[in-house]
Amino acid sequence: MCKCSNKKFRDDKLHHECGVLGIYGVEDAAGLAYYGLHALQHRGQQGCGIVSVAPDGQFHRVKGDGLVSEVFNEQKLAKLPGKMAIGHVRYSNAGCKGTENIQPFLFHHNSGDFAMANNGQIVNYNKLREELEDKGSLFQSSSDAEVLAHLIKKQGTDKHLPRIYAIKDALCTLDGAFSFVIMTGRRIYACRDKYGFHPLAIGKLGDGYVVASETCAFDVLGAEYIRDVEPGEIVTLDHHGIRSQFYAEPQRHAMCAMEYVYFARPDSDIEGCNVHNYRKESGKILFQEAPADADIVIGVPDSSLSAAQGYAEASGLPYEMGLIKSKYVGRTFILPTQSMREKGVKMKLSPVKTIVKGKRVVLVDDSIVRGTTSLKIVKMLREAGAAEVHVRIASAPLKYTCYYGVDVHTPQELISNSNDVDQVCRLIEADSLAFLSHEGMLAAGHRDDLCLACFNHKYPTQLYGEE
């Protein structure tokens, strides 16, 4: 991610930093990467890029600001030949724009060129960058991902040793969340941090392979899921097939809970757990923990619909489409003024008056960030004639900074940091409000190893003075 911010441009939803993709050993790898990045577009909508390796060993790159469909066309894809490619989609903070921060990064070195892309956030980035700059490194971007390239070059002084040795040594110095794809002239490496904060999966595609942040990309490409990259693992994809080694002992597994709650597509499977099923189960548990005396259940499109279905199923209340989302409204989070962003909310969501009028409504959402969107939705439902609005949130109260790739930089941004549940309820003007418990979030995925740091302040890693 980029290490700069501009809060005035932020909306009331969380944003993930990026998604990565790699394709090895398949004709027209860049063309396939284009479709794979489309499937990962929800993970980043402000910039994207693809790097390929031609049969002659030359690296080619196309990148730019905007959606995948805006950056690439047939002519640009024709400039990316070869059977190997890696791609990246990103969400950047305002102030971090510029093509220099768009991945994949491409580096030229006398030991061999290589490209790389990352999903996550390196928490000891500032310390490492300062040390590297003191030793003469010149950084070309403000992205923390670039630090790995400099570490690889510093470690890879012996040109006769395979690149994997330098990669292993470099990864051992990083702390935080990362899912790297690294492409050399002959192979692709897929690397995951020792905590496993964010997903990274491997699939079989014809005679080759694909690696992606989410399995939904496999469905688009017609790839067969093989397995997830394990925490602390480096997977090598080349003419030998799939090879594996660990650069570090896996630590406490700490998959980001928000991957299940909000970021990932519902048709993705993460470490054996389907995202839709997780959200539906969280809705069922939410009803058990916080029933409401109501007439109907509705969800906030799109990521909350599965949880709303689960809540309705467990409660026996009818599930209704009480809110409709416009598919043709632009990215309101980059609108320049607050008034424009407020209008953007109304353009994106519309209540179905016939459905909600006179009804006691359970409104299920995935999270409350700053509270402004929740307030607007509650008001919209009341204006549409809802008799009561009972808000149920399919995650715990967000209270703390995330240091692992989610766009929450200060606790003060979060309404639940300084307000209890009753206070938040009054601020969003709901008739009642309840959140899913920490225990419920774990139970929904039948696991006990999710990272809940932004909910409970228990960070898996050292924070290097940034807290």
What domain range is 415 assigned to? Answer: 278-326+333-446
Is residue 338 in a domain?
A: yes
Task: Assess contact for 53 and 185: CB atoms under 8 A.
Answer: yes
Please report the pLDDT score of residue 331 as a whole number.
Answer: 46
Is residue 257 in a domain?
A: no
Output phi, psi for 80, to 5 deg: -125, 70
Please report the pLDDT score of residue 333 as a whole number.
Answer: 43
Do 233 and 340 lie in one domain? The reply is no
- pLDDT digits 0-9 by tens, 321-331: 999 998 776 54
Do 30 and 168 lie in one domain? The reply is yes
Tokens representing 351 are 């209540």
- Cis-peptide into 104, omega within 30 deg: yes
Active-site choice (18, 48, 96, 451): 18
Ramachandran bin of 429, using left for φ above 0, alpha for ψ from -120 to 50, beta for the remaining angles? left
Please report the pLDDT score of residue 1 as a whole number.
Answer: 58
Is residue 392 in a domain?
A: yes
CATH code for the domain in which residue 192 is found: 3.60.20.10
The stretches in the chain having pLDDT less than 50 are: 5-10, 93-95, 331-336, 467
Is residue 141 in a domain?
A: yes
Residues 389-416: b if buried by 16+ CB within 10 A, e if exposed: bbbbbbbbbbbbbbbbbbbbeebebbbb
Which CA distances in Å does 321 have to 178, 303, 350, 362?
A: 37, 14, 11, 12
Tokens representing 190 are 């897929």
CA pair distance 36, 220, nearest whole angstrom: 7
Do 152 and 290 lie in one domain? The reply is no
Task: Assess contact for 369 and 406: CB atoms under 8 A.
Answer: no
Which CA distances in Å does 368 have to 245, 261, 279, 310?
A: 40, 12, 16, 19
Global pTM value: 0.91
CATH code for the domain in which residue 293 is found: 3.40.50.2020
CA pair distance 175, 127, nearest whole angstrom: 11
Task: Assess contact for 344 and 431: CB atoms under 8 A.
Answer: no
Tokens representing 389 are 């609005």
Q: How many CB atoms lie within 10 A of CB 193?
A: 29
Length of the chain measured in residues: 467
CA-based angle 43:427:384, to the nearest 5? 80
Is residue 451 in a domain?
A: no
Do 150 and 218 lie in one domain? The reply is yes
Do 239 and 282 lie in one domain? The reply is no
Q: With CA atoms as reference, report the closest residue to 296 among 355, 361, 357, 351.
A: 361
Count of structural domains within the chain: 2
Please report the pLDDT score of residue 91 as a whole number.
Answer: 82
Q: With CA atoms as reference, report the closest residue to 445 among 407, 395, 400, 378.
A: 395
- The yes-or-no answer on residue 18 being catalytic is yes
CA pair distance 58, 275, nearest whole angstrom: 39
Please report the pLDDT score of residue 466 as a whole number.
Answer: 53
